[in-house]
């Protein structure tokens, strides 16, 4: 099976712009979670999606949003980018939300200038 | 709120020695505790996990122990090798019906040949 894929792998934006990141889960996996990884804050939970519904949201401002499509692919959007949004954005997929094992994608490295 | 504390932040050992990383969680409802290894520039990869109904689990040179009363779990790596050098993250899942993981801050393990 192909692993979790994320596109694009690298992105450079300027402050005030918006960005959309994409995540394709492992075939058959229906649950997708997103995490932000920074040197200072570590890995922080952003949101969790299952059956096109957001089931959990982390402590991030409303500029961070996401969605899931019927084929389980997920996107996250960050509007009005700030310098502090520079990070590695990781998505992880699992068969179900209750399934133990989550598999991470390679991440999207976002740099905000 | 939910929190996972991880110690030490850096650990340097000689090849062949053992390494121990410790984590403490705050949410007593947490029932699943994975450990991820992240090499530089790569995605986090699950190396071992434990559920709350088990006290210890071993996989070759890696073992994890869980003390539910103390809300404490640890990763033990024996006979360390240079390829074990990486950042290790512990995590806790709050309930069975969610994929949301709360991560520790990470431990940078260096194994000196």
- What confidence tens digit (pLDDT) does each residue in B84-113 have? 999 999 999 976 677 789 999 999 999 999
Would you state the pLDDT for residue B96? 62
Nearest residue, CB atoms, A48 vs list B36, B51, B99: B99
What 8-state DSSP symbol labels residue B83?
A: G
pLDDT score of A35 more than 70? yes
Cβ A31–B96 below 8 Å, yes or no? no
Would you state the pLDDT for residue A2? 80
> How many A-B residue pairs are in contact by the CB < 8 A criterion?
63
Residue B9: closest C-alpha in chain A: A42
Whether A97 contacts B37, CB under 8 Å: no
Question: What is the share, in percent, of chain B residues with pLDDT greater than 70?
Answer: 97
Interface test with B, best of A23, A68, A102 (most B CBs within 10 A): A102
Give phi and psi for B84, each to the nearest 5. -80, -10
């Amino acid at each position: 099976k192909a692993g979790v894929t994320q596109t694009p792998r690298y992105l450079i934006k300027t402050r005030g712009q918006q960005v959309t990141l994409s995540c394709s889960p492992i075939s058959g996996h229906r649950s997708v979670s997103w995490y932000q990884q920074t040197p200072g804050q570590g890995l922080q939970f952003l949101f969790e999606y299952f059956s096109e519904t957001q089931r959990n949201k982390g402590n991030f401002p409303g500029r961070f949003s996401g969605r899931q499509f019927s084929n389980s692919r997920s996107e996250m959007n960050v509007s009005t980018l700030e310098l502090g949004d520079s990070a590695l954005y990781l998505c992880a997929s699992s068969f179900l939300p209750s399934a133990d094992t989550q598999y991470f994608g390679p991440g999207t490295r976002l740099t905000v200038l | 709120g939910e929190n996972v504390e991880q110690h030490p932040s850096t650990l340097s050992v000689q090849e062949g020695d053992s390494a121990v990383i410790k984590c403490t969680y705050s949410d007593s409802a947490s029932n699943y505790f994975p450990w991820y290894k992240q090499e530089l520039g790569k995605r986090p990869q699950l190396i071992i996990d434990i559920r709350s109904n088990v006290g210890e689990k071993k996989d070759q040179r890696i073992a994890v122990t869980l003390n539910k009363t103390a809300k404490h779990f640890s990763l033990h790596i024996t006979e360390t090798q240079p390829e074990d050098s990486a950042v290790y993250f512990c995590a806790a899942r709050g309930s069975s019906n969610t994929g949301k993981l709360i991560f520790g801050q990470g431990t940078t393990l260096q194994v000196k040949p």
